[in-house]
Amino acid sequence: MFSLHSTLAEPAGFQLWEKFLFSALIATSAWLFWQRFGVVLKKIFEAKKDADFRLAPLGRRVWDFFSEVMLQSKVIKQRPLPGLAHAFVFWGFCAFALVTLNHAAVGFGIGFLSPDGLFGRFYFYFAAAFALTCAVGIAGLFVRRFLVRPRWLGEHLSWESGFIAFLIFALMVTYLAQFFVPEGSTAVHVLWWAHTLTILVFLPIIPHTKHLHLVLSPATVFLSRGGFSQIPPLVGDEDFGLIAGTDLTQLATLQAYSCVECGRCTEHCPAANTGKALNPKEIVLGLRGYLNEYGPKGEEPLLGKYNSQEAVFQCTTCGSCEFQCPVGIEHLPLIIGMRRGTVNTGEWDDEHGAKLFLALERGSNALGIATAERDKFIEKAALPLFDGSQEYCLWLGCMGAYDPKGREIVADFARVMRYLGTSFGVLRKEKCTGDPVRRLGNDLVFQQLAESNLEAMTRAKVKKIVTICPHCVRTMAEDWKEFGVAPEVEHHSEFMARHLDRLPKATEKETVVYHDPCYLGRYRNVYEQPRDVVRAGGTLVEAERHGERSFCCGAGGGLAFLGEETGERVSHVRAAELAATGAKTVGTACPFCNSMFRDAFAAQGESAPQLVDIAQLTARRLPEVTTSATQ
């Protein structure tokens, strides 16, 4: 029986016919593998090159690979239990590489790991430990998929997954069993063959199923664009975004084939969770279906048989999908890419969308209001004009300049700046940063707005910008890069957090639930600063979904300007979640979120919590001044 003195029993004395049979089986298995894998590889290499691809910075890529692939950090962090089970299977496979190589060599009588040698003995035990955890892991995943059945894995039970789980389990069992059988017995031989056959059946299944991610996803993670929602620049006069297969780049193709169908993207998607057509997983699988049928040289439109225009325009660009994806798929460039393809060619026919585009082609703001209204507000709120002498340019944004509540937030934040003695001024004229048109895929208007704003800022000699709107911050800091260098820009939460020690502390602490705006959290990685600001004025409570997992308010991606949603309203779902914390106050840090919740709470009636921006939360504690003006 097994004791610590047991060693792995390795078969010996293979017959010649066995060696021939083994060779033939290896060749068949490899051939079957290549039958599919070769096709996929060919499609990836045949696809259009990513013009903006740079290998640098290599350090970031190596780190992503080490952290996300080797350490399985994202897999574990975002879904701890199944994530750990998956990690054990993955680490088991890694540990098994050497064992499997030796296993095959043994078949030809040239095994190089001896159970009697020091290293061999150590390594077989080492692998055995991994085999155990791997077996437990895969059993756990099997139970989850077939008995627990979380809904984001889809309604359809994947029998291939079950079979794969069985094969992995069998691999581990046939390996571990070798420790328990006497050296030289027939059982050793039988186990060897059982293990071998399992591997040889497993291999060709990989490229034919979603287990293709075993081979592709390490490359996908390593090669990903990095950053967040990095929208590639259009190249040349014929590039209008993703219209047909010919527009799908090598990265897009690689990503489409890497999807492991885990459904993390779907689980966190605001559209998929409120009964809309959009399901980010299906977007990626749709592209894969397209590539399977038409390939990267396909002339058929991408929006048609495999993906729908309706779904693509339901995305709030909250970025949960891209943030969650464990195999390095970048959903936003894909979804926005398909929007670009249809908007840049004039195919997208939407009444509200066209109205927004026309407002920004002709006017200055997304709300379509006369700029004279902005001038009136600046005068009424007594905001100083930026003349180059002040430290900060206070950027109002469309909401800050035209929306009544946005104006209150700006006025209150201006009070905070005045109290701190920070000099600031507002520009005489501003145009929308282009955020909604960027996300909706209108590159013409986006470019016009970015260039016009950049020029105005250079002329006004703006060095530092602070604004209440995370959408403005993101668009200026990242999306404008294509057209020039924007001044340094920060969100008011970052500014206030830095000066907290100079602001009065609250005497009475109310409970405040803070809602993370997508464009501040996932897009900018700012989670703590606004919380610090809240803590200075109240007792922070957290909604069930917060931080990296915060649920969208429904306004992003230009959707605030489009028509009525189908299904449940995203804003109502989120507002209910915030209210359910029992907090007296909801603290926001984005004028769009604020506006969405304002409507949602209004629908809820009198029991609704109070809704304020964190700048207002701060301004409340300042001593009264006589010349405070709003609206």
Binding footprint of other proteins on the chain (CB under 8 A):
234, 237, 240, 343-346, 351, 353-354, 357-358, 361-364, 370-372, 442-445
8 A C-beta contact, residue 543 and residue 568: no
Question: What is the arrangement of strands in the sheet containing 538-541, beginning at the earlier edge strand?
Answer: 538-541, 510-514, 585-588, 610-613
At its nearest, how many Å lie between other proteins and the CB of residue 443?
A: 5
Alpha-carbon torsion, ordered 56, 58, 60, 66, to 10 deg: 150
Question: Which residue's CB is nearer to other proteins, number 234 or number 454?
Answer: 234
The phi and psi torsions of 606 (rounded to 5 degrees) equal -75, -20
DSSP H or E stretch at residue 34: helix 16-46
d(CA 181, CA 201): 24
At its nearest, how many Å lie between other proteins and the CB of residue 369?
A: 9
At its nearest, how many Å lie between other proteins and the CB of residue 362?
A: 5
At its nearest, how many Å lie between other proteins and the CB of residue 241?
A: 9
> Is the preceding omega at residue 57 within 30 degrees of 0, hence cis?
yes
8 A C-beta contact, residue 237 and residue 530: no
At its nearest, how many Å lie between other proteins and the CB of residue 202?
A: 48
Question: Which residue's CB is nearer to other proteins, number 37 or number 357?
Answer: 357
Question: Which residue's CB is nearer to other proteins, number 106 or number 366?
Answer: 366
Alpha-carbon torsion, ordered 497, 518, 349, 568, to 10 deg: -120
Question: Which residue's CB is nearer to other proteins, number 343 or number 590?
Answer: 343
8 A C-beta contact, residue 615 and residue 414: no
Question: Which residue's CB is nearer to other proteins, number 239 or number 282?
Answer: 239
Distance from chain centroid for Cα 197: 39
DSSP labels for 197-261?
A: HHHHHHHHHHHHSGGGHHHHHHHHHHHS--SSS-PPPP-STT--SS-BGGG-BHHHHHHHHH---
Alpha-carbon torsion, ordered 452, 453, 459, 463, to 10 deg: -160
